[in-house]
Amino acid sequence: MDHDNTRRQATATRAAFFIPGFATAAWGPLVPYAKLRAGLDDAALGALLLCLGLGSLLAMPLAGALAARQGCRRVMLASVALMLATLPLLAALSDRWLLGGALLLFGAALGAMDCTMNIQAVTVERAAGRTMMSGFHAFYSIGSLAGAAAVTLLLQGGLAPLPATLVVVAMAVLPVVRHAGAWRRERAPAGAALFALPRGVVVAIGAVCFVSFLAEGAMLDWSAVFLHEAKGVELERAGWGFVAFNLAMTGMRLAGDGVVARLGRGRAVLSGGVVGGTGLAVATLLPGLEAGLVGYALLGIGCANIVPVMFSLAGEQTRMPARLAIAAVSTLGYAGVLAGPALIGFVAQGASLTAALVLVALALVAAGVLGAAIRVGRHA
292 Cβ neighbours under 8 A, 6+ residues apart = 223, 226, 227, 231, 233, 241, 283, 286
Concatenate the DSSP letters of all residues of 68-79 into one string. Answer: HHH-HHHHHHHH
CA distance 107 to 50: 9
Q: What is the pLDDT of residue 312?
A: 87
CA distance 243 to 168: 22
3-class secondary-structure state, position 281 = helix
> Average of pLDDT values for 169-183?
90
What are φ and ψ of residue 198, in 5° steps? Answer: -60, 140
pTM for the whole thing?
0.80
Concatenate the DSSP letters of all residues of 239-267 into one string. Answer: THHHHHHHHHHHHHHHHHHHHHHHH-HHH
> Average of pLDDT values for 202-225?
83
CA distance 329 to 337: 13
- Residue 380 confidence (pLDDT) above 50: no
91 in Cβ contact with 162 (< 8 Å): yes
Overall size of the chain counted in residues: 380
H or E stretch covering 193 = none
> Average of pLDDT values for 204-222?
84
Q: What is the pLDDT of residue 377?
A: 59
- Residue 287 confidence (pLDDT) above 80: yes
Concatenate the DSSP letters of all residues of 14-67 into one string. Answer: HHHHHHHHHHHHHHGGGHHHHHHHHT--HHHHHHHHHHHHHHHHHHHHHHHHHH
> Average of pLDDT values for 244-263?
88
Q: What are the E-state strand segments in the chain? A: none
**Higher-pLDDT residue of 42, 145:** 145
Choose the CATH number for 201-373 among 3.40.950.10, 3.90.79.10, 1.20.1250.20, 3.40.50.300.
1.20.1250.20
What are φ and ψ of residue 265, in 5° steps? Answer: -60, -45
pLDDT bin (cut points 50, 70, 90) of residue 51 is: confident
CA distance 250 to 256: 9
> Average of pLDDT values for 342-365?
85
| Helix extents (H) in 182-239 | 201-229
- Residue 1 confidence (pLDDT) above 60: no
180 DSSP assignment: G
CA distance 350 to 171: 46
Instruction: Confirm whether 3-179 and 201-373 share one CATH topology.
Output: yes
- Angle CA 49–202–314, to nearest 5: 85
pLDDT digits (tens, 9 = 90+) for 144-173: 888 878 888 888 888 888 999 999 999 999
- Residue 211 confidence (pLDDT) above 90: yes
CA distance 37 to 177: 33
pLDDT digits (tens, 9 = 90+) for 129-147: 888 888 888 998 898 888 8
288 DSSP assignment: S
28 DSSP assignment: G
- Residue 379 confidence (pLDDT) above 50: no
CB atoms within 10 A of CB 22: 25
Terminal CA-to-CA distance of the chain, rounded, Å?
28
- Residue 369 confidence (pLDDT) above 90: yes
> Average of pLDDT values for 274-301?
91
> Average of pLDDT values for 280-294?
88
**Higher-pLDDT residue of 211, 318:** 211
Q: What is the pLDDT of residue 131?
A: 81
> Average of pLDDT values for 85-95?
92
- 3-179 in CATH: which number? 1.20.1250.20
In the chain, what are the domain boundaries?
3-179, 201-373
Share of the chain above pLDDT 90, in %: 30
